[in-house]
Structure 1
C-alpha cells in the first residue's frame, strides 16, 4: 500500500469518525456494496454518510489557529467515463459536530469503477503561523475512499438523445452506435449510443430503463442484441483484436473483449473470426442467441 508523505502536519485519523456510506435502492437504504449488479445508465446514485470531526483537536495537532476554517468535501471519480466532480462541501462549525454528507451522482456520467473520496480540507488559505502547518486552500488533512463497481444489463458507455431528422442518420431509425479510435483508447471516449428522440417507442423505453414496462423490456432487449452484434463485428474487423493481446482496464479493447467473451464463452477470437469469414450471418445469429433477445427460449 502506497503512503503519501504530505509536506505539512495532519491529524490523528481517530479524530474523524465516519459511518459507512448508505445507498438508496428502490426507496430503501442499504450499505454501499462493492458491486452493483442492478445499475444502468438511467439510475442515479443517491448516497449519504455521517461524519464526526473533533475540530479543536484537529486544529491543535495541525498547528492551526483556533479559528482556522475546516470543511468536509466529497469528490467522485468514474474510471470508465474519466469524469470527476465535487459533489458536496460542508464547513465544520462546532467543536465536534456530526455532519451529514448526502449527494446524488448522475448515472449518465459514470461507468466502470466509481471512487468516492471523503476529504477533510482547508477550504480557504490561513496565515502561515508554523512552518509545518497546512495553509493553502484545498490542503487535504484526512481522506477516506470507497469504491463501487458498476455493472449490470445497462451499457457501460455514454448514451445520448438526438433528433435524427437533424443529422445524416436515417430519420426513422431508433438508435445508432458510433465506434471510433484505437483499442487502447478509453471506452467512454470511443463509443456513443445515439437514441432517436423522435422515435417515441425507443426513446420511451430508454427513459423508463430504471423501471421498464413489458414493451420497454422488448425494445431494450432488441437494442442490447443489436449493439452486441455491432461491437462483435467491429472487433473482428480489427487486426489487433487477437487472443494474445492484453488490454488495459476501461479501454475500448477491454470492453470489446468482455462483450466477445459474453457472446462466445470459451471460444477463441481466431475461431470466431474464421467462422465470420465463412458465414458472417451465422455469427450474427449466434450473437442474437447469446444476447437472449426478447428473453430467449422459454
Structure 2
C-alpha cells in the first residue's frame, strides 16, 4: 500500500532557523562538534553541551502563514534523554524559552550534563514549538499550542556505556566475492532475510573492500565523510527493507534491545522524530530523495581526531 504524506500545517524551513550543531566536551575544556559516538566515556565523566540558535522572526511568521499584527509566540525547547540500548529510554525537558519578538543576537544554550544522569546513550532534541494557540485565516497555519514547527535530534553513543559498535570487516572482495556482482563495490552490506526480532550482530555485517586501497584507508582512519556515505547507505537499505513490508510496522516498536528491528527503530526515531512507520513509508514513497537525505544526515560521525 502506498499513501501520500503531507504535514498537517506549515512548519519552519531550515533557512529560517540559524542552527549549526551542538558542541560537547568536558566542563571547563574546549568543546568539539558532537558526532554519533563519544569515545572513552565513563560513569564519572560529566559533560557540557553548548549551542547557538538564531531565528529570523519575521521570516518565521511569513513561513507559518501568519499576517502582520497577529501575535506569534514560539517556544525553544530542549529535551535530553539517556538509557542503555539503541536509543534513549527517558526524555526530560532541560531548557525552555519563549520568543515573541525578533532576536537581537543568537541565543546561547548551555547545558551541563551530570554523569549520574547518563547511561549508554545521550539523545538531544531541540525543538521550536508554537507557544500559544494562534488564530489565522490561513487554513494551513499552525493553531494549537505545542505544535512542533521545527526540530533537530542528535543521538550520541557513549563508548563503554553499554552498547556495541556496528559489525564491520575489511577484506579483499576479489578473493572473497570472486565472480559475484559486488566484487568491485567499495562496500557491501550482508543482511540475512530474517525477522526484525533476530539478533543484530548475528544477522548483519558490513564488508569494506580492501582492494579499494584509498577508500579502505579512509575508513580505517575514520574519515567522517566516507563513514557518513557508507553508513548512510546501510541505514537506507535496512530501513527501506523494513518499511516495504507492512507486516513489520507493528513488530518494529516491540523488538527487544539488540535486535535488527530495535536498531532500525532507533534510526527512524532519530531521522523522523514523532512520525509513525506508516508516515515514514509515505515519505519514502512520495519523496525518496528527502527520505534518503534524512538518514544520511544522521549517519554523520563527526570529524576524526
- Scaled by the length of structure 1, the TM-score of the pair is 0.47
- Scaled by the length of structure 2, the TM-score of the pair is 0.46
**Structure of greater relative contact order (alpha carbons < 8 Å, 6+ residues apart):** 2
